Structure 1
C-alpha cells in the first residue's frame, strides 16, 4: 500500500460545509418533524418546497396510459415509466399494490427526497396518492442504471462498455452523494440499499443515488447504531448488520465497497448463473485477490477494459475497495476518507484511448477469470 497514503483520521472540517453543493438539514428541523406523523411530514415538506402533487390522470396522460413502450424498468416494487410533462421528460415510478415497497416506504422516500438536495442524489419532481395508486415522479436520467452498463443482456438495450475514466468518475460521484447523507445531513441518513441498480446515470454519466424507501435516520448523541429489521439486497448487505440488525453508516460503506468491486470486475455481487458456488458470490471469489499482493490484484480487472487502465490507480482503487469491505465496521473508512482517496485515484492522468501496457494485457487475458481452484 505504499503507492498512496491513507490517513484514517481525516474528517470533514465542517460537518455542514463539505463544499458538495448539497443543502444540510438542521437538527432542529428533524427534532420537530420526529414528533408528528409520517404522512403529515411528507405533506408539509411538499407544501414548503417545489414538489408537485400530481393526479393519476395527469401521470396516465404523461406515460400514454402507462404504455409498455414507455416502460424503462421494473422490479419487486413495481414499474418505472418514461413520462413527458410540459417542461420535459420524467421518470414515473408506479408502486404495485401490496408490493415490496409499501405505504411506509413510499412516505419515507417522499420525505427524504423532499428534504435532501445534492448533485449526486436524484431529484423528486412530485408524487401521486390517488385512487389507491402510489406513484413517485423523478427527474429522468437517460443513461439508466449502472448495473445495465456493467451487466448487459437480459433483454436490455446494449450500452457501450464503461471505460476506466467513466468508472472512476461514477465511483467518485456516488461516494460524494453518500458522504452528504452521512456527514452533512444531521442526523445522518443511512441509505441501507446501496447497489448498482440504484445508481442512475445522467447524459454525461454523472451518477445519482435513487430509491430511498429503505433509508433510515442514523444514531445521534452517544448511540453507536440503530436497531432495525434487516433489509437490503443479498450480496450488498454488511455481515455485521445481517447478523445483528445493528445499523450504522459503516453498513453503507460496506455496500459501497461491493459496488466498487462490481465496477472493477464487471461481475455481479451475486450471480446464480455461474456454475461454481465459490464464483457466484463476488466477494468470496475476489477476496484472495484483495489480500494485499499487488501483482495478483490485476486478475480482478474486467476483461472488457482490455487492459486499458493505469496500473497504479487500479491498485489504489483495489485497496480502497478492500478497506470498505472489512468485516469489522469500526475498521472501515468514513465516506470522507473514501471520497478523498477516490479523488486521488481520479487525479492521475490517463487517456482512455491509450494503448494498454503488455503487462495489463497479460493480466486481462490470462488472469481476469481465475479458476475456481485458484479462488478457493
Structure 2
C-alpha cells in the first residue's frame, strides 16, 4: 500500500515550494495550481462540484463556490478555472492565498457561445467553442488573439503559449513562444499535444512521444507505449497504455523513475514540480514530487473524483462508454471509455491512421482481417434484426403504432389563436426582442444547429418493462377504487397503487370502450407510450415500471410521483398552495428540469421524439421536487432533418398547442417549444393557459402576458402569491419571461431550440442561487479575473 510518512510529507512540501515555474493546464477533472500546490477535482454529482486539497495537509478537503455542476477544470500558476456543465459559463479562483476561504469565484464568461476544452496557462485562458468553430482567449494581455477561427482539438496552454491540433493533424500555436513550439512540430502529424512550462510534447500518429526540448522517454519509445502525458516545470510523466502505470523522467538529468510502483491510473496532471493522478482502483488522488529517490507520494483527502469528463454526445465515444458512467455523471451524460489503441481514440476531427511501412503481404493480411471483422459485425447485426422481427411479429402478435391523430375541432374564432394578432400586442412573425439592449440576443442563434448536432446521439435504453397481470394491478389499487384515483392521462384514468413487493406506483388504466375508432385511438396511445418509455430513460422523464395487456384491458405502471403535477400546485382546487413552489428559484428549477427532459427527447433520440402534449399537468414532481415530463400517449417520431415537418391532424390540449400545428397541420420539435413557452408563462403569472379575464371573457395566458413582457413591464404580470423578486431574482425572472416570449412566437423557425432554452434557464437559476447566498454578488466579475 502507498502511504505518506511524515518525513516524506516534509520532503514533498520542500520540493513543492513555490518557484518561478508556471503550471500549465488542459481540460480534465483534476487540476493543479502550482504556486500554492493546490489540487482540485470534480466530484460525483449532482451537482458535480469542485473540491480542493493540498499535499501534506492532513485536514479534509474543502469545497469552493459556487455549488453548481462543472464538467472540467484547468490549472495555472496561481489560478484555477472551471467550465460549467454544458459549457455556458466558466469561473476562476485565485489559489495563491493559502487560506481555503480565499477561493472567491469570479465569472469570466456567461454565454452566448458554448465552450469546451478549457486550458489555463500562466496568465491566459483559452477555450474551444462548442462545435469546434474556433479558439477564444481571456486575460491574453494582447499576447494572444481574442479569437482564432478553425476546427481544433487537444487544446493545451503553457507559460506563454497555447497549442492545439487542427483537422490535418498539424500543431498550431499562439503566444510569445507559439512560433517556436509550432516550428518544432511543423513536420509531424500529431494526435495529441501536451504543454509544460516552456516545452510541449506530442503523441504522433505513429504513437510515439516527441518533445520540443528533447525530453523524450529514456527507455525505448515504442509505438503506442503511452496513452497520455503530463508535463510540469522540467519533468514529464506518462501513463502506459497496457496497464495504466506511470513512468516519469527528469528533463535535467534524463533519469527515469516509477514514482508509484504498479498502481494503475485513469489520468494524470502536472503543475510546477508536482504530479497527481486518479487511481483506477478507487478514483482517489495520489500526488508525488520530482525527486527520483524519494518522490514523496501522498494520498490527498479528496472524495472520489470523476474518472473523465462527462459529455452529452454519446455517439462521439469511439471506444464505448465508461462503466457506470451514467450514474457517475448523474444524468443523461456519459464518460467515454479510453481506447486501447490511440489510433482508435483519435480526436473527433478524424485524423488519418498511423503510418507504418508495411510489406505487401501485411497489407493483404490486414485487408482480410478488416473484411472478416466487418463481415462478422454485419452477420451479427442481421441475426439480431431477424430475431427482433420474429419476437415482435410472432410473440407480440401486434404492430406497435407510434402515430395517433385524434382530431381537435377549433372554435370559430380560432381557439387559442385569439389574441395573437398584432393588434393585441401578441407575437408577430418577426422574433421578439427585449426592450433592453442587454437582452437583444438571448439565444445563441448562430450556433444552435451546430450545438444540436454536437449533442445529439442515440437514446438511452433500459431493460424491457415488467408485465403485470390485471389481477395484480387490481389488488394494488383496491380494485381501482375511487379513493385511489389521482388523475387522468391521454387515454385513461390514473390510480395510486401499492404492488405486492411494497413499491408505490401510478397505474394508468385505459377506458374500456367498444372496438370503435375511439378504442383504436386508445390502443394506439397505449402502444405509443409503451414503445417510447420502454426505450427511453432520463431523470427528467417519468419512468415506466411495467404494463398489462389482457383482453380489452390496457394498463401502464409508472413510478409514483409523490408531489403530483405542476398544474395542481399552480392552480390548487382547495385553496391550499404549495409553500415549496412559492419561490422564484424553485419555479425556475422546475422549468429547467422539464426543459432538460424535453431536450433529451429532441436532441438525444434519433430521430427526435415530439411529445405533442407539453403542459403543466404533464410535468410531475417526485418526492424530492424534481420535475419529470410524463404522458407519451401522443408522442411521435419527428423528422430527421431540422427543417422538415410532419403533416397530420392536430392533437394536444387547447391553450398549449402550436398555432402552426393546429392551423397549418405542420408538426415539428418547435411545437413542443411552444407548449413549454406557455408553461413558462403559466409559471410566471400563475394564470391558466386559458382563463377568464376581469370581464369574464376567455383569454390565453399568451395574449395576456406577452404585451407586458415586450413592453418591459414583466413585474405587472407576475404571480402575486410568490411576491416581487429580489434584485438578482428579478434579472432571472426577466430572462425566463423573454425566453418564454421567444418560445411562443407564431413562426416555429423563430423559436429557440431546447438546447438554447436549457442554457437560458440554467443562467436564470444561477442568478437566483446568487441571491440565495451561493455566490456573493460582490465576488463576481464579468470583465476580469485579476
Q: Is the pair's TM-score, using the shorter chain for normalization, greater than 0.5?
A: yes
1:187 is matched with which residue?
Answer: 607
Residue 152 to residue 274, structure 1, CA distance change in 2 (3 Å):
farther
Match of 1:280 among 692, 699, 705: 699
CA-based RMSD: 3.2
Check conservation: 1:89, 1:140, Cα contact below 8 A: yes
Residues 268/161 of structure 1: CA separation in 2 closer, same or farther (3 Å cut) = farther
Q: Which has the higher contact order (CA 8 A, sep 6+)?
A: 1
Structure 1 segments unaligned to the other structure (5+ residues): 353-376
The answer to whether structure 1 residue 119 and structure 2 residue 539 are counterparts is: yes
Kept in 1, the 8 Å contact 2:465–2:534? The answer is: yes
SS at match of 2:755: helix
Match of 2:554, SS state, is: strand
Tell me the alpha carbon deviations over residues 266-321 of structure 1, each in whole angstroms, 9 at most, x when there is no partner.
110012586443x6211111121121x33x11112101012144211111111111
Give the match for residue 355 of structure 1: none
Considering only CA atoms, is the larger Rg found in Structure 1 or Structure 2? 2
- How far the C-alpha of 1:120 sits from its partner, in A, is 0.3
Offset at 1:21? Answer: 2.4
What TM-score does the superposition give when structure 1 sets the normalisation length?
A: 0.80
For each residue in 1:55-81, what CA deviation from the matched residue of structure 2 results, as whole angstroms up to 9, or x when unmatched? 110000011111111111136732111
Aligned residue number for residue 22 of structure 1: 332
Are residue 92 (structure 1) and residue 507 (structure 2) matched? yes
**1:351 aligns to 2:772 (yes or no):** yes
Q: TM-score, normalised by structure 2?
A: 0.40
Aligned partners of 2:694 and 2:751: how far apart in 1? 29
Structure having the larger proportion of residues in helix: 1
Query: SS of the counterpart of 1:83?
Result: strand
Flag the 1:11–1:174 CA change in 2: closer, same or farther, 3 A.
farther
Q: Which moved more, 1:210-219 or 1:265-274?
A: 265-274
Alignment of 1:132-147 (within 5 A): 132-147=552-567
> Any idea what SS the aligned residue of 2:527 has?
helix
Output one character per residue of 1:89-143: Cα deviation in whole Å (capped at 9) or x when no partner: 0000111024685101100000000011100000000011113111100000100
Cα distance in 1, alignment partners of residues 595 and 564 from structure 2: 19
CA distance in 1, matches of 2:608, 2:490: 27
Taking a change above 3 Å as real, the CA distance of residues 114 and 39 of structure 1, as seen in their structure-2 partners, is farther
Decide whether aligned partners of structure 1 residues 115 and 274 sit closer, same or farther in structure 2, where only a CA change above 3 A counts: farther
Equivalent residue, structure 2, for 1:65: 479
- Specify the SS of the correspondent of 2:614: coil
Measure the CA separation in 1 of the matches of 2:735 and 2:584. Answer: 13
What aligned pairs does 1:69-218 form with structure 2 within 5 A after superposition? 69-74=483-488, 77-85=491-499, 86-98=501-513, 102-153=522-573, 159-160=578-579, 162=581, 163-218=583-638
What is aligned with 1:370?
Answer: none
SS in 2 for 1:102: helix
Contact map agreement 1:188 1:218 (CA 8 A) in 2: yes
Following superposition, the deviation at residue 20 of structure 1 comes to 7.4
Cα distance in 2 for partners of 1:336, 1:74 equals 30
CA contact (8 A) 1:15 1:183 kept: no
Alpha-carbon distance change, 263 to 111 in structure 1, aligned in 2, over 3 angstroms? same
Contact 1:150 1:161 (8 Å CA) reproduced: no
| C-alpha spacing 1:270/1:341, structure 2 compared with 1 (3 Å) | same
Residue 161 of structure 1, CA deviation: 5.9
1:328–1:6 distance in 2 versus 1, CA, 3 Å: farther
User: Residues 12, 71 of structure 1: CA spacing in aligned structure 2 closer, same or farther, 3 A cutoff?
Assistant: farther
